[in-house]
DNA sequence: TTCGTTGTTCGTCGAATATCGAACAAGCTG
DNA sequence: CAGCTTGTTCGATATTCGACGAACAACGAA
């Protein structure tokens, strides 16, 4: 793939509150964070969103540049994980509050895993 | 003044998480929210920020439209107050987390009250 | 009524953002 | 090596955003 040259990944101390807030102000990106909320590392290929792959790549980059997620590359594919610990250290309670609110109104519901049946209606 | 026609003020149930997050992703607006964090209603004239008044008006509008603040008009001047209760109802913990993080790194420190000596160095 | 005060709105600019399709690059696979 | 898969990057748009100064509107005061 495109090398993902210099994946950047800001250090914990470098996280910027406005930047993180901005990264978390897009429904699609909130949806991605919700998917990653369980702490599991997800493969790019598992992610399904109603946008072109280049657009999804862009959003994942915004999250990564802001320090919200960490991307790892393994062979041809890459994996994403939420940097929950780092975020909690710098902005205590922020992610939890966001996730609570986002779940309550299903923000970013268009984003789901490949294994999911139909987004909201997971079971049955 | 410019009438402030149809101040809009979304109802509590209408608050949008992405919109609120976006409103809170600007350093200057975060600074304003920090000023209003004590729950006190502030007059427009008390607010000091390193931008033109039209720009400040714009930011206050963004906050109001997103439902973060409420603006009241009294005669010639208007007053602003943080809609903390409403925000807490819809997005529990969000404002508190934001304020905690913002205070920790003095985000939006350029915004202060007219009575403040020099922003950070309040006393002496 | 004529000012002065106080904010809002307008027009404009440059920068940033969201999106897409196409081209590209880096690893596997055959 | 040739080809496939998987993402990234590159334009190209269209939209939005932040900022400013100037014009405007509403109210109180002289």
* pLDDT per residue as tens digits for the range B3-14: 555 678 999 999
Please tell me which of A4-8, A75-79, A96-100 the model is most confident about, judged by mean pLDDT: A96-100
Question: B4: burial class by Cβ within 10 Å (0-12, 13-18, 19+)?
Answer: middle
Q: Structurally, how many domains does chain B consist of?
A: 1
More confident residue, B80 or B76: B80
Q: Which residue is nearest to nucleotide C27 (CA to C1')?
A: A76
Residue B118 scores a pLDDT above 50: no
Asked if residue B26 belongs to a domain, the reply is yes
Q: Residue A122: inside a domain, yes or no?
A: no
- Give pLDDT, residue B6: 61
Q: Is the CB of A76 under 7 A from strand C?
A: yes
In a domain, B80, yes or no: yes
**A23, A25, A29: best to mutate for the B interface, most B CBs within 10 A:** A25
Q: Say which nucleotide is closest to residue B73, CA to C1' distance.
A: C7
Distance CA B47, CA B97 (A): 23
In a domain, B4, yes or no: no
- Report helix, strand or coil for A6: coil
Question: Does pLDDT of B79 surpass 60?
Answer: yes
Predicted confidence at residue A118, as pLDDT, reads: 43
Nucleotides of D under 7 A from a protein CB: 5-11, 17-28
The reported pLDDT for the residue numbered A123 is 21
**Residue B75: CB atoms within 10 Å:** 6
A115 φ/ψ angles, rounded to the nearest 5 degrees: -75, -20
The answer to whether the C-beta of B3 is closer than 7 A to strand D is yes
Question: Is residue A111 assigned to a domain?
Answer: no
Residue A27 lies in a domain: yes
Flag whether residue B13 sits within 8 Å of chain A, measured between CB atoms.
no
Q: Which residue is nearest to nucleotide D9 (CA to C1')?
A: A2
The 3-state DSSP composition of chain B as helix, strand, coil percent (nearest 5) reads 45, 15, 40
For chain B positions 83-122, those within 8 Å of chain A (CB to CB) are 90-94, 96-98, 100-102, 105, 107
* Domain that includes residue B37, residue range: 14-100
Q: What is the CATH number of the domain that holds B87?
A: 1.10.10.10
Does any domain span residue B22? yes
* Contact criterion met (CB below 8 Å) for B48 and B113: yes
DSSP state for residue B112 in the 8-state scheme: E
CA–C1' A124–C25 (A): 41
Q: Which of residues 39-58 of A touch B (CB under 8 A)?
A: none
| DSSP one-letter string for B43-92 | EGGGEE-SS-HHHHHHHHHHHHHHTSEEEEEETTEEEEEE-HHHHHHHST
Residue B2 belongs to a domain? no
Chain B: closest CA distance from residue A75 (Å): 35
């Amino acid at each position: 793939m495109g090398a993902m040259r210099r994946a950047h990944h800001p250090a914990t101390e470098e996280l910027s509150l406005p930047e993180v807030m901005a990264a978390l102000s897009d429904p699609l990106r909130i949806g991605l964070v919700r998917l990653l909320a369980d702490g599991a590392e997800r493969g790019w290929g598992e992610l399904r969103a109603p946008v072109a792959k280049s657009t999804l790549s862009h959003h994942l980059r915004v999250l990564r540049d802001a320090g919200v997620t960490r991307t790892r590359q393994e062979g041809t594919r890459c994996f994403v994980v939420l940097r929950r610990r780092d975020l909690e250290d710098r902005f205590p309670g922020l992610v939890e509050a966001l996730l609570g609110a986002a779940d309550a109104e299903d923000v970013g519901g268009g984003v789901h895993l490949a294994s999911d049946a139909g987004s909201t209606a997971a079971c049955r």
